[in-house]
Structure 1
């Protein structure tokens, strides 16, 4: 080994201290969403509409107030927008502290049937079984709901109708009760209200909103439910 190599081997090796490993950045935790900010579901809207319908039937709301609130119900995006609509009626006041009722608390509402006509038509007639709730949307088109030959499996049928540059026509048997309300902007809602003499007769409740369109609900002459207690 040369003298140069020996001198290099005897030189001290510098000791360097490595930088300490950095701790991973904490993962940000999303803040919990307030109850009022939760997006409203169709079931949430239907439950609020049920409360308003009961308030109308009990005389706590007049038809105009009911129509305004129903319109607001189906325009609401969050549960917070729904809760004030029932805050001043008994069914809504008892549940206000917990927000809107849960599915378990209010029972299954059942999925509504949706009839949509956009630049066309939608028809429901003949021997059919209407669900407890039906939604009808007519946009530059027409919807026809004919209940004169329907099989009524529910004591009460609720129809929510919207007509925008279109029309919704609802025909019912002569011997059922027909009630409803609605409002229109350059349009109209015409409901021929009647109370059936038989207390066991089905009840059809219609609410609607017409914007440059119309909603018409009336009995069809000569058509009757044959067995009201079936």
Structure 2
């Protein structure tokens, strides 16, 4: 039986989750992702995941909430990104760096409720972000060079909510230049 794009993406997500858990090496992940995204039948997809543990489904309302009145909310480095993240801050700001995080989900939903603060989201290279659901009354939204439509096999972030006087910036990591 032939598979759909959704079936391919679901399998790619399981492979990425297995890599994040240390069950696959990077070369194994890359090989299997290439095969998953070009698979034609369910047999093709099953052969890529049969040696992995059964998928455990998170509850549909799995939401992590972070709140602050005036402090800075920051997540970076090796941290586990939930499927849904809700951030509320009256005077503080939020910095979410997903570039080195463990992201077992193909799509991550981030809801921002920022009264006077701003938010910055750093995506892994190749990630995409839909910010159409975010509103800023006296600020702006910046997504320089970040595509808004999802792409197979890459992280897609959907940002909703708003800020009264703040801004939202979504970008890729800055390039680092090393000199010896």
Alignment TM class, shorter chain as reference? 0.5 to 0.7
Name structure 1 gaps, 5 residues minimum. Answer: 1-106, 224-230
- The SS at the match of 1:178 is strand
TM-score, with structure 1 as normaliser: 0.46
Where does residue 201 of structure 1 map in the other structure? Answer: 154
* 4+ runs deviating over 4 angstroms: 195-198
Number of aligned residue pairs: 117
Mapped pair 1:185 → 2:137: yes
Q: Quick check: which has more Rg, 1 or 2?
A: 1
Residue 136 of structure 1 and its aligned partner are, at CA, apart by: 1.5
Q: CA deviation digits over 1:120-146, x for unaligned, max 9?
A: 111111101101001112211111111
Q: 1:166 to 1:197 in 2, by over 3 A?
A: closer
Q: CA deviation digits over 1:177-216, x for unaligned, max 9?
A: 2222222212233334416896211211112311012222
Where does residue 108 of structure 2 map in the other structure? Answer: 157
Q: CA deviation digits over 1:90-136, x for unaligned, max 9?
A: xxxxxxxxxxxxxxxxx931321112221111111110110100111
Q: Which has the higher helix share?
A: 1
Aligned counterparts, 1:65-76, within 5 A: none
Residue 222 of structure 1 and its aligned partner are, at CA, apart by: 4.1
Aligned counterparts, 1:202-221, within 5 A: 202-221=155-174
Name structure 2 gaps, 5 residues minimum. Answer: 1-57
Residue 218 of structure 1 and its aligned partner are, at CA, apart by: 1.5
Q: 1:185 to 1:198 in 2, by over 3 A?
A: closer
**More contact order relative to length (CA 8 Å, sep ≥ 6):** 2
Mapped pair 1:124 → 2:38: no
User: Aligned-residue CA RMSD in angstroms?
Assistant: 2.4
Aligned-partner Cα distance in 1 for 2:162–2:122: 17
Q: CA deviation digits over 1:25-71, x for unaligned, max 9?
A: xxxxxxxxxxxxxxxxxxxxxxxxxxxxxxxxxxxxxxxxxxxxxxx
Check conservation: 1:139, 1:165, Cα contact below 8 A.
yes
Residue 170 of structure 1 and its aligned partner are, at CA, apart by: 1.0
